[in-house]
Amino acid sequence: MKNNLFCRILADAQKSSSAVAAINILNHLTVCAVVKAAEQAGRPVILQPSVGTVRRYGVEALYHMINVSKRNARVPVALHLDHCMDIALAKACIRTGWDSVMVDFSALPFEENVARTREVVLYAHRYGVAVEGEIGIIAGVEDGIVQDAACPASFVETVAYVEQTGIDAVAPAIGTAHGLYTGIPKLNFTLVRELGRRYVPVVVHGGTGLPKEGFLKLIQCGAAKINISTALKQVYLGAARKALAEESIAPLTFDQAVEAACMSAMEAFIRLFA
Ligand code: 13P
């Protein structure tokens, strides 16, 4: 998959011992904010709408809206589908020309997870599209789906999952959680280090709320892609509330204020992972 943009971005991150930020954009405004943030930082970025966002706008409409920004960007920008359990939807993204998809059958027994992931991999690779898969269960709320209990991934099962599915990037459950942390997360740095850069690139989910040192250690251990979703939503809504509190604000001024806040917050993550 040397010619696939998602794979190239992750391979470059591995080579330079850095990680790429993968951000769950919500609409056109956040696409512009994240692409500008990446350009400011001079770093590639992955735009990864959640399934809810894809259903809201449609596979094709989102593809075309983002493709304009991708084409005009001064840095590499990949379009990736996040956490998809719907094989038909993942295949629609693949046919439409998205760079990559993440399928998540991690709540199913190992053999079932492998079989479904493998089905998407075989389909995606025919179109030159990359696939990320999850092993072990990452706790928290993502796209309205609640996973109460985390189920940590082991080295042996992660390697078996990678080898049996042929995926291009792996998201093992390492103790991070989607959404906000209630305590200090206990991260399995050992697993990230063991997987390191020897297998396919390692993806960290649940980036929001991790401390700076946690990010830096994960990258040092070999993490190549770090997902950020909740932080963008929080900044977006916070900036929107602030802008609306102004006596009379024009819609375009409102958009600019929200975009600027999102851009600066996301630029900080992109630069931190560099
Ligand atoms: P956060 O919402 O915790 O940033 O997690 C994002 C994520 O992992 C999306 O898949």
Q: Name the pairing type of β-strands 139-142 and 145-147.
A: antiparallel
pTM: 0.96
Q: What is the pLDDT of residue 184?
A: 81
Q: Is the pLDDT of residue 150 over 80?
A: no
Q: Which atom of ligand 1 is nearest to the CA of 204?
A: 8
Condensed to tens digits (0 to 9), the pLDDT of residues 30-39 reads 999 999 999 9
List, for residues 68-112, the tens digit of each pLDDT value: 999 999 999 999 999 999 999 999 999 999 999 999 999 999 999
pLDDT at 194: 94
In testing the pocket of ligand 1, which one of 81, 134, 208, 225 has its CB within 8 Å of the most ligand atoms? 208
- Give how far Cα 148 sits from Cα of 83, 137, 142, Å: 16, 9, 11
3-class secondary structure per residue, 20-60: EEEECCCCHHHHHHHHHHHHHHCCCEEECCCHHHHHHHCHH
Quick one: average pLDDT of 12-24? 97
- Summarised one tens digit per residue, pLDDT across range 151-168 is 889 999 999 999 999 999
Which of the 8 DSSP states describes residue 144? Answer: T
DSSP codes of every residue in 95-128? HHT-SEEEE--TTS-HHHHHHHHHHHHHHHHHTT
Q: Which of 30-34, 108-112, 113-117, 175-179 has the lowest mean pLDDT?
A: 175-179
Query: How far is ligand 1, taken at its centre, from the CA of residue 226, in Å?
Result: 8
- What is the per-residue pLDDT for 149? 67
The atom of ligand 1 lying closest to the CA of 209 is 3
Mean pLDDT of all residues belonging to the chain = 95
The yes-or-no verdict on residue 145 having pLDDT over 80 is no
User: What's the whole-number mean pLDDT along residues 253-259?
Assistant: 97
Q: How far is the CA of 117 from the centre of ligand 1 (A)?
A: 20
**212 or 146: which leads in pLDDT:** 212
The minimum-distance atom of ligand 1 relative to the CA of 207 is 4
184-240 pLDDT, tens per residue? 888 999 999 999 878 999 999 999 999 999 999 999 999 999 999 999 999 999 999
Distance 205 CA to ligand 1 centre (A): 5
Which residues 6+ apart lie within 8 Å of 252 measured at CB? Answer: none
Is residue 228 within 6 Å of ligand 1 at its C-beta?
A: yes
Q: Is the pLDDT of residue 142 over 90?
A: no
Structure token digits, residue 166: 């042929």
Amino acid 146: pLDDT: 75
Give the separation between CA 220 and CA 208, rounded to whole angstroms: 18
Q: Which helix (H) or strand (E) holds 203?
A: strand 202-204
82 catalytic per annotation: yes
Give residue 140's pLDDT: 81
